[in-house]
Structure 1
Amino acid sequence: MPYLLQPLQIGSLALTNRLVMPPMATSKAETNGKVSSAILKYYNEKTAGGYLSLVIIEHSFVQQAGKASENQLSVADDSVIEGLKELAAIIHRNGAKAVMQINHAGSAADKAVTGVTPVGPSAVKNPRKGGVPHELSREEIGEIVVDFAAAAGRVKEAGFDGVEIHSAHGYFLNQFFSPLTNRRTDEYGGDVLGRIRIHLQIIDAVRAAVGQDFPILLRLGASDYVDGGTTAADSQIAARAFAKAGVNVIDISGGFSGYIVPGNNEQGYFAPLSAAVKEVVSIPVILTGGITEVQAAEQLLAAGKADLIGVGRAVFQDSLWAQKAVNSIR
């Protein structure tokens, strides 16, 4: 059987194949962050036929201060749960599993969107956005940890199959992980384990909120691809700690480079990072990044670069991509 078509059991999460639709922002939510008819239609179209085993819903904000953009989905209060139930149900009816990604934009937020001053680990200019955030106190960090846990509880209540914590693409948790933006001298700064202290606290709080059997994924911006930024070696240390803390899947992407590798357009351009992380953890690893050909996906799995393959832009551009890919290798 082709690697791409092999099932995978991850705790309570039974996947029919190795094909994942990764989170991609659509800006289709209502202005208040609630699920819209446009969002429902979009995910219904993308998951029709059950060719994707897993769909990770686009990043959704855990509190107003962490809202990244207009028309972003919200998991910030209980009023969104009913709409999220509809979204989970549509994906399930189409034969896929559904995971929701929860996020805080940190210093990548815009006061024009949130109404408040952006926050971050240190009062350091955001390399992607340019603004200098308010440096969070320990107490303020604790409040955000609580909001991540509450958001995860809502994801479970809405009927999703798991929750993904977002620590990539230069957003809040990535800002703590990266030395480019984390210059703290307290326990939340310094070496890698200091810089991921907040991650470990969020993982513990989320686990307490969702229970032992609910899958937790973590999207890791595994390299900033810039001098002084995070490296694959940092991500090996972090991934080991995340796995030990109870994360069930590591989802590899870029850090402050975003979802690209500068100057690299090859299929699966994050493969060196996913392979490095796979060396040090026994939990499944997702690889995304420029994968548009089914044979490339198959070869990356065969070479042991990852356990699951995320295909984003190709599915975004062609809702039948997964169907055609699966049928071509059956």
Structure 2
Amino acid sequence: MLFSTYELKSLTLKNRIVMSPMCQYTAKDGFANDWHLVHLGSRAVGGAAVILQEATAVSPEGRITPNDLGLWQDEHISKLQQITTFIEEQGAIPGIQLAHAGRKASTSAQKDQKGKFLKPAEGGWPIVAPSAIPQRADSGIPEVLDKKGIEKIITDFSTATQRAVKAGYKILEIHAAHGYLLHEFLSPLSNLRTDEYGGNFENRIRLLTEVVDAVRKVWPPELPLCVRISATDWANEGWDWSQSVRLANVLYERGIDVLDVSSGGLIHTAPIPVNYGYQLPFASQIKKESSIKIATVGLITDAVQAETILVNGNADLIVMGRELLRDPYFPLHASQKLQASIPWPLPYKDVEP
């Protein structure tokens, strides 16, 4: 099943392997460069069906670090077009994840200072969130978004989507996971608002649904639209899998095609029991209790492991991150292990096992 084709709206995926969005922190002023071309392109050469580009900021203030990719101006489009063209030439489908970092913005990408909050004098910028709760004790206190600020967020996602269409992306994922802005609105641990965007479940999901509606208006209806969520905060009284099931059904009714199920990221001290396939139970439960297609991610590192997930009906798509960093040609190697015959890239034919 891992190497069976899969129909998703108007697209035919050549297999079920999706490269997870993984920040590279090598952009300048939001612009992609040759690192992104080679990084993303090599995984397309390696046989993955879908290449999802890293979290791409919808505004300058929505970046996690100064070195994030962005799509807040038309000038960003040109290099991205080169990347999407190359991906498609390899028989893969180019996708993009659009994001706003919220209270996790304005941090350092430097290896020795990773995650350090940057003050304006250090090259940082003001951060925003649903409530004035810092991510960590040493983080900045975010400005509470008012109605005008919320409207700007929605508009930023919409205009970035229009640029994504021009850049040639065929799948779009809205990032509502890992403690970034849309997740911050979802969770009662980070959202203490008393207006229509806080309090009960319907209010806390409101910003995400409004972003989804705005994006759907400008995203081609024949192309798939996805949302990534954290199924749980791994913390008491936080966002959890039961709310994720409810959200999955709401998003399905609003036209979302795939729910990309991850977890965590909101509470940096959360005791997450990381092990092989540790997030799969959440994906499986949501799939059982909703009609939406499910992508699962999280320490999936082996061909048999991935095949078993699909055979057991626990997910529809396999999203892989670090394993594709370690081995850009994992799909080609996995096909041999599963005795599935898929063609190697023509220039590599002479070394095909």
Matched with 1:252 is 261
Q: Distance in 2 between matches of 1:275 and 1:82?
A: 39
Matched with 2:48 is 52
Equivalent runs, 1:45-84 vs 2, <5 Å: 45-49=42-46, 51-84=47-80
Shift of 1:131: 2.9
Q: Do 2:235 and 2:270's aligned partners in 1 also have CA atoms closer than 8 Å?
A: no
Matched with 2:322 is 313
Q: Distance in 2 between matches of 1:224 and 1:146?
A: 27
Matched with 2:187 is 178
Shift of 1:115: 4.4
> Residues 129 and 52 of structure 1: is their aligned pair in 2 closer, same or farther, counting only changes over 3 Å?
farther
> Residues 303 and 317 of structure 1: is their aligned pair in 2 closer, same or farther, counting only changes over 3 Å?
same
> Residues 189 and 60 of structure 1: is their aligned pair in 2 closer, same or farther, counting only changes over 3 Å?
same
Equivalent runs, 1:125-274 vs 2, <5 Å: 125-127=134-136, 130-256=139-265, 262-274=271-283
Query: Does the residue aligned with 2:2 lie in a helix, a strand or coil?
Result: helix
Structure 2 counterpart of 1:86, which letter? Q
Q: Deviations over 1:38-71 (max 9, x none)?
A: 111111222214x211111100100011111132
Q: Distance in 2 between matches of 1:12 and 1:114?
A: 43
> Residues 229 and 220 of structure 1: is their aligned pair in 2 closer, same or farther, counting only changes over 3 Å?
same
TM-score, normalising length: structure 1: 0.94
Structure 1 counterpart of 2:42, which letter? E
Q: Distance in 2 between matches of 1:64 and 1:47?
A: 28
- Mapped pair 1:34 → 2:57: no
Q: Distance in 1 between matches of 2:154 and 2:9?
A: 24
Structure 2 counterpart of 1:217, which letter? C
Structure 1 counterpart of 2:155, which letter? V
Matched with 1:288 is 297
Larger mean CA deviation between 166-175 and 68-77 belongs to 68-77
Q: Distance in 1 between matches of 2:206 and 2:179?
A: 17
Pick the structure with greater CA Rg: 2
Q: Distance in 1 between matches of 2:140 and 2:189?
A: 14
> Residues 117 and 261 of structure 1: is their aligned pair in 2 closer, same or farther, counting only changes over 3 Å?
closer
Q: Distance in 2 between matches of 1:11 and 1:129?
A: 45
> Residues 188 and 233 of structure 1: is their aligned pair in 2 closer, same or farther, counting only changes over 3 Å?
same
Q: Do 2:61 and 2:105's aligned partners in 1 also have CA atoms closer than 8 Å?
A: yes
Query: Does the residue aligned with 1:5 lie in a helix, a strand or coil?
Result: coil
Q: Deviations over 1:82-120 (max 9, x none)?
A: 111011111111111111000000000125487431000
Q: Distance in 1 between matches of 2:205 and 2:144?
A: 16
- Residue among 3, 7, 10 paired with 2:8: 10
Q: Distance in 1 between matches of 2:55 and 2:284?
A: 25
Q: Distance in 2 between matches of 1:125 and 1:56?
A: 29
Q: Distance in 2 between matches of 1:308 and 1:159?
A: 22
Query: Does the residue aligned with 1:38 lie in a helix, a strand or coil?
Result: helix
Q: Do 2:21 and 2:55's aligned partners in 1 also have CA atoms closer than 8 Å?
A: yes
Q: Do 1:128 and 1:256's aligned partners in 2 also have CA atoms closer than 8 Å?
A: no
Q: Distance in 1 between matches of 2:128 and 2:266?
A: 20
- Residue among 295, 299, 314 paired with 2:308: 299
Matched with 2:100 is 104
Matched with 1:116 is 125
TM-score, normalising length: structure 2: 0.88
Percent of pairs with identical residues: 33
Larger mean CA deviation between 207-216 and 11-20 belongs to 207-216
Q: Distance in 2 between matches of 1:223 and 1:39?
A: 31
Structure 2 counterpart of 1:173, which letter? L
Q: Distance in 2 between matches of 1:257 and 1:15?
A: 32
Shift of 1:132: 1.9
Matched with 1:89 is 85
Matched with 2:20 is 22
Q: Do 1:219 and 1:251's aligned partners in 2 also have CA atoms closer than 8 Å?
A: yes
Query: Does the residue aligned with 1:144 lie in a helix, a strand or coil?
Result: helix
Q: Do 1:217 and 1:247's aligned partners in 2 also have CA atoms closer than 8 Å?
A: yes
Q: Do 1:174 and 1:255's aligned partners in 2 also have CA atoms closer than 8 Å?
A: no
Structure 1 counterpart of 2:50, which letter? L
Q: Distance in 2 between matches of 1:129 and 1:318?
A: 36
Q: Do 1:102 and 1:163's aligned partners in 2 also have CA atoms closer than 8 Å?
A: yes
Q: Distance in 1 between matches of 2:82 and 2:4?
A: 29
Q: Do 1:76 and 1:151's aligned partners in 2 also have CA atoms closer than 8 Å?
A: yes
Unaligned runs of at least 5 residues, structure 2 = 107-118, 341-353
